[in-house]
Amino acid sequence: MSNKPHKKFSLEKRVESFKYALNGLKIVFIEEHNARIHLIVSLIVIACGFIFHISTVEWIIICFAIGLVISMEIINSAIENLSDFVSPEHHKLIKKVKDLSAAAVLVCTISSVVIGILIFLPKIAHLFGL
Residue 30: inside a domain: yes
Residue 31: inside a domain: yes
Residue 73: inside a domain: yes
pTM to 2 decimal places: 0.85
Predicted pLDDT at 5: 73
Predicted pLDDT at 1: 56
- Quote the number of domains for the chain: 1
Residue 19: inside a domain: no
Residue 91: inside a domain: yes
Separation CA 103–CA 83 (nearest Å): 16
| C-alpha 85, offset from chain centre | 22
Which domain does 108 fall in, by range? 24-127
Separation CA 98–CA 94 (nearest Å): 6
44-98 pLDDT, tens digit each: 999 999 999 999 999 999 999 999 999 999 999 999 999 999 998 989 999 999 9
Predicted pLDDT at 2: 60
Residue 29: inside a domain: yes
Predicted pLDDT at 130: 82
Separation CA 6–CA 2 (nearest Å): 9
Identify the three-state secondary structure at position 83: helix
pLDDT mean over 89-115: 96
Predicted pLDDT at 67: 97
Q: Where residue 87 sits, what CATH number does that domain have?
A: 1.10.287.3610
